[in-house]
Structure 1
Amino acid sequence: MDLDVFMMFSSIAGVLGMPGLGNYAAANAFLDALAHQRRAQNLPATSVAYGVWEGEGMAAGLTGRTTLTHLAKFGLDPLKPEEGLKLLEQTIRGGRALTVAAALDPERLRIYLKNEHAERGGIPSFYSKLLSEQERNGSCNEPRNSGRAGNLRTKLSKAPAGQHEAIVLAMVRETVAKALGFTSAGQVDVDIPLQDIGFDSLTAVLLRNRLSALTSLKTLSAGSITWQYPNLRSLSHFLLSQIQSEAQAQSKQSCSVSDHTRKQSVNSTTYTMEAARKGHLDPDIAFDNIEEAQRPRSVFVTGATGFVGAFILRELLELGIAAHCLVRAEGVKHGQQRLVESLASYDLWKHDYAPLLTPVVGDAAKPLFGLTNVAFDDLANRVDAICHSGALVDWLRPLNDYIGPNVISTHEVLRLASRGRGKAVHVISTLATLPMHMGYDVPEHDREYGYSTSKYIAERMVAAARWRGARASVYRVPFVAASAATGHFRVDRGDFLHNLIAGSIQMGSFPSLDADLSVVQPVDYLSKTVVAIMVHDRSRIGHDFDFVNKHAVSCNHFFQLMGGDDAGTLLPFHEWQLRALAYAAAHPKSALARIGTIIDGLADESALAAMLKGLPTGEHVLGGDVYPAPLVDEQLARHYRDRIDMFNSDGPISSLEPGKME
């Protein structure tokens, strides 16, 4: 084509390389490079690298207040539309391949760079040249924050251990306040999700940089800070644990521990934690009390306030079986209240259950569940079976976060089974352990590494207990779906499958997937099956069970059932992915926003389909001919859809027009 003008609109991000905008910067740098290439071939081309525009443009719609605040600190002020158009005319008339058109305050940029790069040797050379920085004596770039990490660690070393969490939390809170532009640290709520405070990709990178400088921790990532920790309190706890781990490692290098000291610590908490991390059982745990399994009259249940645990608890109570439920609470009365509220939230509670329900106030992540030896032994003599359904199930946390709730808890469940009257153990696990059982390597950067590894370690403990005589079963449950009978679903923010379905309904379109629901089972089916084996079909106890859905329907068929009359459309995956990410950015509290990082990381349709793809199962399989799974039909979908509509606090999700945003 014989063109007079070939105009491209790029961004100043491609020139200055702003933190948190790496992908965006690279895309715009390509446009700038294309302009230079065309000019080298004597073809017309002009690229204008704009800064932020005033008004409801991309910056306002996709980044929000906190990112705009940081762009201002970076030295960028918004251009008025008339200024942008005037600069466009100048760019075309100027005849250059690339023109940067932005309202940039060099002094503000200089101050920002000095603060951000103080720990790394001062302002980078590229910016120094841009700002004509005269670094004759190096005084301009003298680090302002040098020694802060050392000061933090020194402060921790001098303070009582009971104050450490408060010290780190205060530091994190102050850092976040500065990063997000709050006037004081007291305005930052430490108990709400980070995304609700105002974090996005840019501010996460900035926070990562500052926390790395303050703590000297080099392995922090922006993604983990934003998505792996539910709030600032949890993030602070992780930072403190990392600092303490490094300090312990340094201590071990500088001094050795004698064999005598090691033997003295065999029965200590330290031994239990270290051994449990490797899947080892306490040598003192033996199962000399095991007898032929009788119908249990009393069962110890962990995780009863969780989704699967609540449904299992209901099945036991409905059969008239007493339940001693481990629960974190301020006292017995509060524990009872938590259990009742959990059952009631799924419409499972009946007043007739009250005499059968006994709260055991404790913590599954602690040795002996935080109980005294006397209380622990008393519990061991009161129950005939154990159902261990308690676990931390978020995908995206580091392994260390799962050790207590997933590994130590299993170790102590097996300890309880070894004491007092004989009792069978039923452990709820996950199909995510199957790749490890099959000998495949699960790399640490895999999103499920921490969770699946912790559950695999727990399963190894159960296998070791069986070698010592325990009667124990493992149930590797698949994706847990809503109740087939009532539509009740897990209200946990991190439930990927539910957020995918509810978010697609809300957006008005679903991804077209070449996959089925063979690894998806309703929660009421799973709970009934586990309790049936525990109570009635006791000859099956002692095996590891996998689940299949012999009558699984395709994802596309299920999506159409869930959509109903206003289903919207089934879109090609890439088109749906772009729409979902835009919707998540525009609706940061939506279901899709909760799984936005996972959606963004999916390379193509096959990546999402692989998440729903089943793996080869073991010898003992449930859901086919043995305890067949229920059919997924219009009635099941209607129950689920109705429950989603009821849960939506802003009115029925179905009130949205297909394909439209709020």
Structure 2
Amino acid sequence: MREVTESAGQVSGVREMGDRGRLADRIARLYAEDEQVRAAQPSPDAHAAITAPGRSLGEIVDTVFAAYAERPAVGFRRTEVVVDSVTGRSTRRVLPVFDTLTYSELGERVSAIVAAWHAAGIGAGDVIAVGGFTGPDYLAIDLAIIRLGAVAVPLQSGAGPARWRAILAETAPRVLAVDVAHLGVAVEAGAPELLVFDFHGDDDEHRDALAAARERDDVGGIRTLPDLFDEYARRTPGESAMGREQSAARYVGRTPGGSAAGSEQSAAPAQPTVPPLSMTSANSAAPAQVDAPSPNSTPQVGASSPDGSPHSDVSAPDSSPHAETDDEALALLIYTSGSTGTPKGAMYSRRLVAHAWRFVRPQSVIDLHFLPMSHIAGRMSLAKTLARGGTAYFAAAQDMSSWFDDVALVRPTEIFVVPRICEMIFARYNAELARRTNPANPDPTVAEQVRADIRTTVLGGRVINALCGSAPIAAPLRAFMEELLELRLHDGYGSTEAGSPLIVNSRVMRPPVLDYKLVDVPELGYFSTDIPSPRGELLLKTATMISGYFRRPDLNAEIFDADGFYRTGDIVAELAPDHLVYLDRRNNVLKLAQGEFVTIAKLESVFATAELVRQIFVYGNSTQSSLLAVIVPSDEALRLPPEDLRASLRASLLAVADDLEPYEILRDFLVEPEPFTVDNGLLSGIGKPLRPKLTERYGPSLEELYTKLAQDQQDEVQALRADAAGLPVLETVARAARAILGCESPDSEAHFADLGGDSLAALSYSRLLTELLDVDVPVSTIVAPTATLAAIADYVDRERKSDQRVTAATIHGRNSATIAATDVALSSFIDTDLIANAPTLPLADDPQTVLVTGANGYLGRFLALTWLERLAPRGGKIICVIRATDDDTARARLLAVFDTDPILAEKIAKLAPALEVRAGDVAEPEFGLAQGEWAHLANEVDHIVHSAALVNHVLPYAQLFGPNVIGTAEVIKLAVTSKRKSISFLSTVAVAAQCTNFSENGDIATMSPTRVVDDSYANGYGNSKWAAEVLLREASARMSLPVTVFRSDMILAHRDYPGQVNVPDLFTRLLLSVLRTGLAPRSFYRPGRAHYDGLPADFVATAIVELSGAPGHRAYNVVNPHDDAISLDTFVDWLIEAGHPITRVDDYADWLARFETALRAMPEVQRAATVLPLLHAFRRPAPARAGSALPADDFHQAIGTIPHLSRELIGKYVTDLAALRLLTQ
């Protein structure tokens, strides 16, 4: 639970982006110009007395009431009696003015209540329950309980009879004080003696409610507070202002001059001069005790008066010196709101209650109170106002409906807001902004004018301190509030059980915090070893911590650990000692079916800022991969035509969802016209959603919606199967996307990824389109940067109009479990005349123009750079083919990959005249180029470096066939058009996975004549490169084509250029993940001497350029063959020695479980770069191998020296990842 109270250093707490002197200037101006603010300054002497060590609760409150006797203490909206002209019934209506009571007047009312209860034998240790709306009467009752040394049990307003009944049964109060609005609940709950407050005898509804309650046989005595005040006034006629007619008028239904009930006149408040209130009586019995240090004891309540007999003296207790009281006596039971389950009574001693009065900053305070007294934040904020001699104005309506009117009348100097209030202000701002904005001629100054009007007119223009609590506030909403207020919105954290404030603006408050620690939450991926900051559940020891729950010692083990720390249930990150950032409630994190973690409260706070959303309840469960919600539309939304409402709500939600991940977007929602309220049991007293109640009410309907959506999806697919033949291609493409992703009807210009599709969803989409349209639509086409839904439809149309195109199915048979080298024949891809004529073509020599495919890829960029450096000085050039919509975009895509370092970017700029870039796709016929462009390439290019490929270790062979096999065939076709051109082909060591008798320069078709097609790691990628090698081997043999194949293993970071690291590769993902989680296994390997096979990118690029262009066919295994015992374990050693906090976990399975959980718990923007998508590669320890798994004698001999991996290279990874903002150093 989050609370907020007074924060330290408010003058210096102006929001950082503004002028730090603005607040000081505002305060100085108010004190100089505003009489009310100046008169409300706290007395230095009173402040010193209140905060003096050793002062008891009674002494503190006595001091306050004596020091500020003639000041206004509380304000309440004036009401007047109105008579219905038809029915003749009298009711009261609220007027736009506040009346006040002074501290003396309020104290007199407290004395009246104390006298009556004292006479009834109620004293120290007795329990008094109170239910109703916060106001002067409630406050007077609460202060009377303090004076008697009794125990207050505030009841939640919207809890209902059953909840009240349970609390009353547990606490056994002597009296239940209840306002008229809750009188029916009290009667149904089986109340003991009732004291009815906020009662007006001239209101027919009040009289009817009282009469109905008195008719019940199962209710004890019922008295009204006006009756009690009248009795007190009669017995103290010479002393008490309660006997004055003006003061009594509000309670007994008559006005000055004796006007009859039903008059529309209203009474002004009396202004008597009375002695200060003495809050502790010598006649009071000794209070009940709470063994505070021990969380295992239960206090005894309900003690009788000292002699065991009822008191008969009805006069006020005297004001003699204070009786000795025990600060650890039980004073208050705060029952939790039930937002996470059954309410429990948190036990507050008199010392803890006094804390709220004692720790205050001496600053004038005039504020509006709307929080219930059943919530600790409401009680503490009210106590802090009174302790400073301020004026506490009470809201006119419990449901916050009067808040704007109230705050405009009060013009507070301090506002306490909860997120719901901020949402209301934001909605008002948006409505006013829309009203004033002329779409045809927008004025950029209107927004600031609206903010200024709200700041000065609505909020009164006097706010010098703004506090937010009770729940997290969304960052955009907080930014809006700070811009509106021109103040920092202080964020406070506390809890019912541990006290408040504990953390203010992310800084631990000492006192009251004595100690804290973070404990791991492995199931959610939070660990104290997390990088860059420890994360975990916050456990606290505070000076304001409760001793336990009332009569529930069985729960102590749940709320306290073995060392006495309170378990907050809140997840925080520790950025530095005493610098904690709240992340979430432990039970607010939901793991969806696909393994993604979502934070429900965060999403609700984001969606609540949508213009057409009044309230929202987000729902999900771990068997589903998407989220649903219940939405209460705003008033503006409800005015829309019903047929437009859902679409408008969805658009409103999407407008605030820019920073959310696809799985965080609501799949669907229910529309609920009835707001969530305290009265219908869906909100707590402070407006917090009660999730168990919301789930109870809407859960079944939402589960039915999940079932309906699943059925709709199946029905959509079935309908598509039946209708696709007769539908336009674009409609089929769009409906298939909707069926796969569960989205609304998508726009034709939408990209599949923008609709929430990932590579696995693209695979499902590909298969469905192929089935529906009888055209292979590869994943590479679906995820291409140019591929909108309309572009996918165009692709299908082109495929249908073209000659039968080669696919994996046409070469190997559909869904074949094995593929053969004999299937992969050049004649299946290239015209036989072109093949036959190729040997007769001239062979390009000493290349002056080099074509580089895939130059924007990781290795491709360094190959392009190396060739540029060689060719530019002698007037040569390189041509790069990049997938893009046009040549300019293609060039921009290429240049962007070099933009990590100014030196590198400058080098590319100098070499730019020798760089030509074309937009094309190697998997398309003739690269998708116009005929003239293809001919230009054929005539000009002398050497081809083919590094383009779809590198994906998850997709199957059939999906990689187009870009990796057909793309290679198109390269061969270019190599034998116009003239023969040598080819350098970038392959992979994965081709060796299914080879027998593998040799470095052997015939790949002989070493691996057949291949198994399955879903094992990188099977599809390895097979696609194998098929490409088969084609190239045949091309070299039949067409006298010089071909050099380079089979690389892991290509690591460039040793020189900052930021040049292959972020998506397995090694970088693993290293980043180890650094971010701070977790590594004791060893990545099975027992034995291990080695990691990888080489720096700069070395690989240079080696490939050096060894390219030789006649015939050559193949090199570009691997690290050294038996040097430099392994993944060595890299972890080096990182630890460099000071990186990494914990080694002895058990590999334990490490893997913790590692995966920690990765899944990361925000998506971080998680996307981790090893999580490829974690299956680490499911078991790797076999330890000395040196490379493949022979590399030919490569070693040809290139000479091969570098060992170094500590410096691993250190550069850390620097590079930090430069790319993937890691915090």
Q: Which structure 2 residues correspond to residues 514-533 of structure 1 after superposition, within 5 A?
A: 514=1085, 516-533=1090-1107
Aligned position for 1:633: 1206
Q: Which residue of 1058, 1061, 1077 corresponds with 1:507? A: 1077
In 1, Cα distance between the equivalents of 2:695 and 2:889?
Answer: 57
> Quick check: 549-558 or 523-532, which moved more?
549-558
Aligned position for 1:476: 1047
Shift of 1:465: 0.7
| Correspondence 1:606 to 2:1176 | no
In 1, Cα distance between the equivalents of 2:622 and 2:1075?
Answer: 37
CA contact (8 A) 2:950 2:960 kept: yes
Q: Which structure 2 residues correspond to residues 424-443 of structure 1 after superposition, within 5 A?
A: 424-438=982-996, 439=1008, 442-443=1012-1013
In 1, Cα distance between the equivalents of 2:845 and 2:1206?
Answer: 37
Q: Secondary structure at the match of 2:770?
A: helix
Q: Which structure 2 residues correspond to residues 270-281 of structure 1 after superposition, within 5 A?
A: 270-271=805-806, 278-281=823-826
- The residue type paired with residue 1023 of structure 2 is T
- Normalised to the residue count of structure 1, the TM-score between the two structures is 0.65
CA contact (8 A) 1:482 1:489 kept: yes
- The residue type paired with residue 364 of structure 1 is V
Aligned position for 1:568: 1142
Shift of 1:146: 7.0
In 2, Cα distance between the equivalents of 1:192 and 1:118?
Answer: 21
Q: What whole-Å deviation, never above 9, does each CA across 1:538-585 have from its counterpart, x for those lacking one?
A: 447621111231335222112222452225244333333122112112
CA contact (8 A) 1:303 1:327 kept: yes
Q: Which structure 2 residues correspond to residues 278-317 of structure 1 after superposition, within 5 A?
A: 278-281=823-826, 282=830, 283-286=832-835, 287-289=838-840, 294-317=845-868
Aligned position for 2:973: 415
CA contact (8 A) 2:957 2:1013 kept: no
Shift of 1:396: 1.0
Aligned position for 2:35: none
Q: Which residue of 880, 892, 910 corresponds with 1:337? A: 892
Aligned position for 2:512: none
In 2, Cα distance between the equivalents of 1:76 and 1:457?
Answer: 46
In 2, Cα distance between the equivalents of 1:454 and 1:73?
Answer: 36
CA contact (8 A) 1:430 1:476 kept: yes
Shift of 1:312: 0.2
Specify whether residues 506 and 56 from structure 1 end up closer, same or farther in structure 2 by C-alpha distance, changes over 3 A only: same
CA contact (8 A) 2:852 2:881 kept: yes
Shift of 1:614: 4.2
Specify whether residues 381 and 645 from structure 1 end up closer, same or farther in structure 2 by C-alpha distance, changes over 3 A only: same
| Correspondence 1:158 to 2:726 | yes
| Correspondence 1:545 to 2:1080 | no
In 2, Cα distance between the equivalents of 1:409 and 1:581?
Answer: 36
Q: Secondary structure at the match of 2:945?
A: strand
Specify whether residues 432 and 106 from structure 1 end up closer, same or farther in structure 2 by C-alpha distance, changes over 3 A only: farther
Specify whether residues 189 and 496 from structure 1 end up closer, same or farther in structure 2 by C-alpha distance, changes over 3 A only: farther
Shift of 1:406: 0.7
Q: Comparing both structures, which one devotes a greater share of its residues to helix?
A: 1
- Normalised to the residue count of structure 2, the TM-score between the two structures is 0.36
Q: What whole-Å deviation, never above 9, does each CA across 1:348-386 have from its counterpart, x for those lacking one?
A: 642221121111221111111112344322211101110
Shift of 1:616: 3.2
CA contact (8 A) 1:305 1:343 kept: no
Specify whether residues 339 and 428 from structure 1 end up closer, same or farther in structure 2 by C-alpha distance, changes over 3 A only: same
Shift of 1:593: 7.0
Shift of 1:481: 1.0
State how many pairs are aligned.
491
Shift of 1:522: 1.3
Q: Which residue of 949, 954, 971 corresponds with 1:391? A: 949
- The residue type paired with residue 338 of structure 1 is R
In 2, Cα distance between the equivalents of 1:118 and 1:641?
Answer: 45
CA contact (8 A) 2:923 2:963 kept: yes
- The residue type paired with residue 299 of structure 1 is V
Unpaired runs of 5+ in structure 2? 1-522, 524-568, 571-583, 592-596, 604-617, 630-691, 778-799, 813-822, 997-1007
In 2, Cα distance between the equivalents of 1:583 and 1:155?
Answer: 46
Q: Secondary structure at the match of 2:937?
A: helix
In 2, Cα distance between the equivalents of 1:410 and 1:73?
Answer: 43
- The residue type paired with residue 634 of structure 1 is R
Q: Comparing both structures, which one devotes a greater share of its residues to strand?
A: 2
Aligned position for 2:770: 241
Q: What whole-Å deviation, never above 9, does each CA across 1:470-529 have from its counterpart, x for those lacking one?
A: 21111111111111223544455x422111001111222333223744421111111111
Q: Secondary structure at the match of 1:566?
A: coil
Aligned position for 1:268: 803
Aligned position for 1:555: 1128
**Cα root mean square deviation, aligned:** 4.1
> Quick check: 108-117 or 569-578, which moved more?
108-117
CA contact (8 A) 1:365 1:404 kept: yes
Shift of 1:464: 1.4
CA contact (8 A) 1:328 1:361 kept: yes
CA contact (8 A) 1:574 1:605 kept: no
Which one has the largest radius of gyration?
Answer: 2
Aligned position for 1:5: none
Q: Which residue of 1158, 1175, 1180 corresponds with 1:583? A: 1158
In 2, Cα distance between the equivalents of 1:73 and 1:505?
Answer: 31
Aligned position for 1:149: 717
Aligned position for 2:574: none
| Correspondence 1:60 to 2:589 | yes
Shift of 1:339: 2.1
Specify whether residues 544 and 163 from structure 1 end up closer, same or farther in structure 2 by C-alpha distance, changes over 3 A only: farther
Shift of 1:284: 3.5
Unpaired runs of 5+ in structure 1? 1-23, 25-52, 78-100, 120-142, 178-183, 198-224, 249-264, 655-662
CA contact (8 A) 2:1045 2:1115 kept: yes
Specify whether residues 243 and 643 from structure 1 end up closer, same or farther in structure 2 by C-alpha distance, changes over 3 A only: same
- The residue type paired with residue 1107 of structure 2 is I
- The residue type paired with residue 70 of structure 1 is G
Q: Percent identity?
A: 20
Shift of 1:533: 1.4
CA contact (8 A) 2:883 2:920 kept: yes
CA contact (8 A) 2:1059 2:1220 kept: no
In 1, Cα distance between the equivalents of 2:1117 and 2:702?
Answer: 59
Specify whether residues 279 and 653 from structure 1 end up closer, same or farther in structure 2 by C-alpha distance, changes over 3 A only: farther
CA contact (8 A) 1:385 1:425 kept: yes
In 2, Cα distance between the equivalents of 1:613 and 1:442?
Answer: 27
CA contact (8 A) 1:487 1:640 kept: no
Q: What whole-Å deviation, never above 9, does each CA across 1:208-264 have from its counterpart, x for those lacking one?
A: xxxxxxxxxxxxxxxxx86x44xx67764453234334999xxxxxxxxxxxxxxxx
- The residue type paired with residue 546 of structure 1 is N
Q: Secondary structure at the match of 1:316?
A: helix
Aligned position for 2:870: 319
In 2, Cα distance between the equivalents of 1:373 and 1:72?
Answer: 54
Q: RCO higher in 1 or 2 (8 Å CA, sep ≥ 6)?
A: 1
CA contact (8 A) 1:487 1:636 kept: no
Q: Secondary structure at the match of 1:344?
A: coil
Shift of 1:634: 2.6
Q: Secondary structure at the match of 1:288?
A: helix
> Quick check: 472-481 or 275-284, which moved more?
275-284
Shift of 1:104: 8.3
In 2, Cα distance between the equivalents of 1:605 and 1:419?
Answer: 49
